[in-house]
Amino acid sequence: MAHPIQLLSAKRTTGPAIKFMPLKLFILLFVAFQALAQTTHRLSQLRVQGNKFVTADGKTLVFRGLNASDPDKLDKSGHWDKSYFEEMKRWGATLVRFPVHPPAWRRRGQQQYLELLDKGVAWAGELGMYVVIDWHSIGNLKNEMYQSPIYETTQKETFEFWRTMSDHYKDNPTVAFFELFNEPTVMGGKLGTCSWAEWKKLMEETITIIRANGSKTIPLVAGFNWAYDLKDVAQNPIQAEGIAYVSHPYPMKRDKPWEAKWTADWGFVAQKYPLVLTEIGFSAADEKGAHVPVISDESYGDAITRYCDTHGISYIVWVFDPQWAPMMFTDWNYTPTRQGQFFKNVMQQAAKH
């Protein structure tokens, strides 16, 4: 049974836990809480209602958001600060995604990485923007095989990451979304096999963990083909209430005209569940960092934003960084790239309504 160190937590509660709190400590905590309440903007707790995200008072929200690069990367280059969030706000973002790469999580140390996230979550909340925490791996979690070393993790580490996140942010409504696994893919068999049933089971296990740890954050679940394909949801949806689905419909995943294919591949999901395109974006072939499958132009930007407007789908553009691609600006004066200019205009317009 218990060792001295555990007595504080008393996790083995089966009846009501017996706790004593000295009055002095209570007063101290009360004052600290009041101070916190004055300086932070407390966003309304988001939840799923049908195929919509709604606030506590029943208002529907559709997001236009921006992908930060990895907080660890931004911190190392001196850009993990409030001005970065203020700039995202100026571009019209109502949602910010934090892609946490597993090796960054391991190398910085859990406690140190949590401090980074805490700062970002606070800045976003103060500016009225919600946050997606994204476990940024790419590959086959079933076999624990990945596209490249930067995406290496294990099932155990993935479960523990969400155990930590759900416990840590259980009372923080700014953290509206947990994106359970960035881009599931078997790379055409290079990483072995994973059936939808196997994937679904891993996602349902993760959702169980998140909710048992007390979190009300909305889980976001992606499908195969680097988070593009959601066709299996039609017949065999994730068995959990209150979740939303994800697609990453980069331009080269399908040839033009895109719309009917998008509907068949993932858009149909939006009729029944909330849908978030947590990565969209494009770059011209001659721009820095151009690569398959993102090469396209403003016609893609027009198509995907119109599609989202029409169907009430939220999106988050990849990526608010001058080095990762497709990038949105070219230098730390935030000079927009082509897609940067395109989405800045669109999102600023949307923010006015």
117 binds its own copies (CB under 8 A): no
What is the smallest separation between the CB atom of 320 and its own copies, expressed in angstroms? 13
Site for its own copies in 221-260 (CB under 8 A): 225-226, 228, 248, 250, 252-253, 255
Give the nearer residue to its own copies in terms of CB position, either 51 or 225: 225
| Residue 333 binding partner per list Mg ion, its own copies, none, with a CB distance cut-off of 5 to 8 Å that depends on partner kind | none
Neighbours of 51 (CB within 10 A): 18
Give the nearer residue to its own copies in terms of CB position, either 4 or 22: 4
The pairing of beta strand 60-61 with beta strand 52-54: antiparallel
Which of 29, 291, 299, 310 contacts its own copies by CB under 8 A? 291
Q: Name the strands in the sheet holding 138-140, side by side, starting at the edge strand that comes first in the sequence.
A: 145-146, 138-140, 183-184
Distances (CA, A) of 181 to 146, 244, 268: 12, 13, 21
Neighbours of 90 (CB within 10 A): 14
| Residue 351 binding partner per list Mg ion, its own copies, none, with a CB distance cut-off of 5 to 8 Å that depends on partner kind | none
Amino acid identity of residue 264, one-letter, is A
* The one segment of 82-90, 119-127, 277-285, 345-353 that binds its own copies by CB under 8 A: 277-285
What is the smallest separation between the CB atom of 75 and its own copies, expressed in angstroms? 16
| Residue 267 binding partner per list Mg ion, its own copies, none, with a CB distance cut-off of 5 to 8 Å that depends on partner kind | none
Site for its own copies in 190-209 (CB under 8 A): 190-193, 205, 208-209
Which of 55, 147, 263, 341 contacts its own copies by CB under 8 A? 147
13 binds its own copies (CB under 8 A): yes
- With a CB cutoff of 8 Å and minimum separation 6, the contacts of 240 are 204, 207, 219
Distance between CA atoms of 73 and 80, rounded to whole angstroms?
A: 8
Closest to 221 (Cα-Cα) out of 213, 212, 231, 230: 230
170 binds its own copies (CB under 8 A): no
110 binds its own copies (CB under 8 A): no
- Tokens representing residue 161 in the block: 């990451």
What is the smallest separation between the CB atom of 320 and Mg ion, expressed in angstroms? 13
* The one segment of 31-39, 75-83, 114-122, 143-151 that binds its own copies by CB under 8 A: 143-151
What is the smallest separation between the CB atom of 334 and its own copies, expressed in angstroms? 19
Give the nearer residue to its own copies in terms of CB position, either 51 or 158: 158
Q: Give kind and range of the element (H or E) at residue 54.
A: strand 52-54
Q: What is the 3-state secondary structure (H, E, C) of 131-195?
A: EEEEECCEEECCCCEECCHHHCCCHHHHHHHHHHHHHHCCCCCCEEEEECCCEECCHHHCCCCCC
Residue-level length of the chain: 353
Site for Mg ion in 1-60 (CB under 5 A): 1
What is the smallest separation between the CB atom of 167 and its own copies, expressed in angstroms? 8
287 binds its own copies (CB under 8 A): no
In the chain, what is the greatest distance between 2 CA atoms, to the nearest angstrom? 67
Distance between CA atoms of 60 and 40, rounded to whole angstroms?
A: 23
**Sign of CA pseudo-dihedral 118, 120, 125, 130:** negative
Give the nearer residue to Mg ion in terms of CB position, either 70 or 265: 70
Neighbours of 270 (CB within 10 A): 23
Judged by the rule CB under 5 A, the positions of this chain that interact with Mg ion are: 1
Binding stretches for its own copies (CB under 8 A): 1-7, 9-15, 17-18, 143-145, 147-148, 150, 155-156, 159-160, 163, 186-193, 205, 208-209, 211-213, 225-226, 228, 248, 250, 252-253, 255, 279, 281, 285, 289-295, 318-319, 323-326
